[in-house]
Amino acid sequence: MAEIVNLNRYRKAKDRVVAAEEAKNNRVLFGRKRTEKEADRRVVEKEKGNLDGKKLDD
């Protein structure tokens, strides 16, 4: 006969893996100092401004 399998155990294990991956991504996004976040934001704004300045008008 086949062995009885507890599906909750597998579901919870899968949920733990997904949660760990999400936590890893959140540590990268939110685990930074304010100065690092502001520096990144300034770089993005500068790049956006450069791109907008090079747009061609129709």
pTM: 0.48
pLDDT exceeds cutoff 80 at 57:
no
Over range 17-35, report the average pLDDT: 92
What is residue 46's predicted lDDT score, i.e. its pLDDT? 92
Query: Could you list the residue range(s) of the whole structural domain that residue 56 is in?
Result: 24-58
Query: Whose CA is closest to 34, among 42, 46, 24, 44?
Result: 42
- Whether the per-residue pLDDT at 13 is higher than 90: the answer is yes
- Our count of domains for the chain comes to 1
Instruction: Indicate the Cα dihedral angle 45, 51, 54, 58, nearest 10°.
Output: -110
State what percent of residues in the chain have pLDDT above 70.
Answer: 98
User: pLDDT-derived band of residue 58, with 50, 70 and 90 as boundaries?
Assistant: low
Residue 21 has a pLDDT of: 97
Does residue 12 fall inside a structural domain? no
